[in-house]
Amino acid sequence: MKNALLISHSEQSAVSLSQLLESEGYTEISVCQTSQEAKELAKGEVFDLICVNAPLEKENGIELSKYFAGTTRSSVVIIVPQRNADYVNDALTEHGVLVIAKPVNKHLFHHFLQFTECFKMRMFRVIEENEKLKHMVADMKIINRAKFLLITCLNMSEDQAHRYLEKQAMDLRTSKLEVAKQVIRTYEN
């Protein structure tokens, strides 16, 4: 079940774009007319796609697209008049916003949305890998702190402290991290 946030000043365009999004499998489509209304809605809900139909009533949509690209994990697409497409594309490419020129071609729109899905899946894999690496670094810091305590409190060498943590983990059938945490609890008090 995919959901989208559509920001469009024109009700007629909002209806047309909503139908286009529905044909692409978006089952929940929230429509806003102003950037403020859209920002409020996005604070409380996570959207798969945020689509800005530019221009809006009091702005061109560029700053709003940058805002969503910088504050959400949603795919962000801005639809602009053909005459502005190159300028907007130059302004938003570095922010990861996809620019689509009006009039919207249904076939191209389908491919643009597929591209955003592929890009989002790759991004999530990178984020997952980043989280794993952060956990590994945090675990290594704990283990190194335990080694430091063994070296300073028990006058062990670094190799001895390393072997001690590994042997304790093996003997107690637990992880080296758990042994390190126990060493920290014991010697930091």
**Homologous superfamily in CATH for domain 2-104:** Response regulator (3.40.50.2300)
Q: Where in the chain is the domain with CATH 1.10.10.10?
A: 130-187
123-162 pLDDT, tens per residue?
Answer: 889 999 999 999 999 999 999 999 999 999 999 999 999 9
Single pTM value for the model:
0.72
Asked whether residue 17 carries a pLDDT value surpassing 90, the answer given is yes
In the chain, beta strands by DSSP E: 2-8, 26-32, 49-53, 75-81, 98-102
Fold of 130-187: Arc Repressor Mutant, subunit A (1.10.10)
Q: Where in the chain is the domain with CATH 3.40.50.2300?
A: 2-104
42-53 pLDDT, tens per residue?
Answer: 998 999 999 999
